[in-house]
């Protein structure tokens, strides 16, 4: 939307973490002994370490990465939770999405 590669999002109270998503861009990537063009996106997470341990934040980002890389699995595993969130969001527009770590 703003053609930004990456940025650091600021945590607003009472949030304990926030994910910043950069734009998707074509980049040269090594694949074996070849160079191919792939679409890449940067995602960063800011955490309040009084609430979220760094390992927990890293596990969240790993789960988010897996979900983005495998959209079908994301739809199957999270469809009900997203539908539940949409229903709750209609009742309380200030609610936020919380993805639970499946492990």
Residues forming the active site? 49
The strand pairing partners of 76, in sequence order, are: none
Strand, coil or helix: 60: helix
Distance CA 35, CA 8 (A): 30
């Amino acid at each position: 939307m703003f053609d930004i590669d990456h940025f650091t999002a600021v945590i607003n109270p009472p949030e304990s973490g926030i994910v910043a998503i950069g734009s998707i861009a074509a980049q040269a990537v090594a694949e074996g002994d070849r160079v191919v063009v792939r679409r890449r996106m940067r995602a960063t997470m800011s955490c309040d370490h009084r609430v979220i341990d760094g390992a927990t934040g890293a596990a969240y980002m790993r789960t988010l990465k897996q979900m983005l890389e495998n959209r079908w699995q994301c739809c199957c595993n999270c469809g009900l939770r997203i539908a539940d969130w949409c229903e709750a969001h209609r009742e309380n527009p200030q609610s936020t999405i919380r993805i639970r770590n499946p492990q």
